[in-house]
A = this chain, B = another copy of it.
Amino acid sequence: MADETVGFIGLGIMGKPMALNLAAAGFDLVVHSRSPGPVDELVQAGARRAASPAQVAAVCDTLITMLPDTPDVQHVLFDEPDGAAAALRPGSLVVDMSTISPIASREFGDQLRARAVGFVDAPVSGGERGAIDATLSIMIGGSAGDVARAMPLFEAMGKTIVHVGDGGAGQVAKACNQLVVASTIEAVAEALALAARAGVDPARVREALLGGFAGSKIMEIHGQRMLDENFQPGFRARLHLKDARIVLDTARGVGSPTPGFEPVAAALTTLVEGGGGELDHAALFTLLKDGKGSGDA
């Protein structure tokens, strides 16, 4: 570890604690982010500061990106004159841990490999709590060699680390995850709203259902949030909407039908456009309480 330099670009809500865990694990870190506060925190923790993606890229062996969306990754890697790709040394490795389009992710990998730079997609789930506690689930796509090379880094940031498949497979798994999570939240919300409206205590219904086939992490955690009407995130609805669009784009791109997910994505849109973007995604429940269809927008 000591002779390898790790670059880290994107010190947001997720990126900052992930980078801090790498610093704590003893990696030689060079960091860059748009806002100076988190950079200062990393420097306090022993990291070096770089003024641009290109400056990070010029000195690192492995570059980790943790950015909000597909265009941000495009920008940091490929925009002139400060993009990282042109400055990366042949034989170096990019590990993109952002949640972005699987199709774009595969393209980025192709472009980097044309420069003799390796690429691994490794989106995460587990939220800010998982990032702080280094208990993230990491879903990985890439070649066996590249993934093996990044493994010590993953082990410093996550707990459930699964090499899903070739390039893009991590992003595909993350898209599948976000599809299932949103659809299950909507199902639990519709069930608890139905119980309440039919004059039955939804807390008792949740309890009756938890042990059977309707039981899930979502019924347990998000179902309780709905009962408490506590929509402090957690995971923000606007971020899930971003991910829902990735799901729909990917599904359309490969011709896979998502008839059940489409109204769920529409409900997320309604929630965010109605001002609920900063609420936890369990706030899908609020769209059902007034008796109007959440997919009406």
Top 5 A-B residue pairs of the complex, sorted by shortest distance between their CB atoms: A216-B216, A183-B187, A259-B295, A176-B191, A180-B214
* A74 at the B interface (CB under 8 A): no
Whole-angstrom distance from the CB of A120 to the nearest CB of chain B?
Answer: 15
When C-beta atoms are compared, the residue in chain B nearest to A214 turns out to be B180
CB within 8 Å for A180 and B209 given contacts A204-B169, A259-B267: yes
Complex A-B: 9 CB contacts under 8 Å? A160-B208, A162-B207, A172-B199, A179-B191, A190-B251, A190-B259, A194-B254, A196-B256, A259-B293
A13-48 interface with B by 8 A CB criterion: none
User: Interface of A with B (CB < 8 Å)?
Assistant: 102, 125-126, 137, 139, 141, 160, 162, 164-166, 168-169, 172-173, 175-177, 179-181, 183-184, 186-188, 190-201, 204-205, 207-209, 211-219, 221, 247, 250-251, 254-264, 266-267, 287-288, 291-296
B257 contacts A208, C-beta separation under 8 Å: no
CB within 8 Å for A187 and B187 given contacts A173-B205, A212-B137, A256-B198: yes
Whole-angstrom distance from the CB of A263 to the nearest CB of chain B?
Answer: 4
Whole-angstrom distance from the CB of A147 to the nearest CB of chain B?
Answer: 13
A184 contacts B257, C-beta separation under 8 Å: no
Q: B139, B256, B262, B263: which contacts A288 (Cβ < 8 A)?
A: B256
CA distance A218 to B217 in the complex (A): 11
A208 contacts B137, C-beta separation under 8 Å: yes
Interface centre among A141, A195, A207 (most CB of B within 10 A): A195
When C-beta atoms are compared, the residue in chain B nearest to A164 turns out to be B204
Chain A at the B interface: mostly helix, strand, loop or mixed? helix
A169 contacts B260, C-beta separation under 8 Å: no
When C-beta atoms are compared, the residue in chain B nearest to A296 turns out to be B259
Whole-angstrom distance from the CB of A221 to the nearest CB of chain B?
Answer: 7
A263 contacts B259, C-beta separation under 8 Å: yes
Q: B126, B184, B205, B296: which contacts A184 (Cβ < 8 A)?
A: B184
CA distance A251 to B261 in the complex (A): 20
Q: Which residues of B contact A263 (CB under 8 A)?
A: 259-260, 262-263
B188 contacts A180, C-beta separation under 8 Å: yes
When C-beta atoms are compared, the residue in chain B nearest to A183 turns out to be B187
CA distance A166 to B221 in the complex (A): 26
When C-beta atoms are compared, the residue in chain B nearest to A141 turns out to be B200
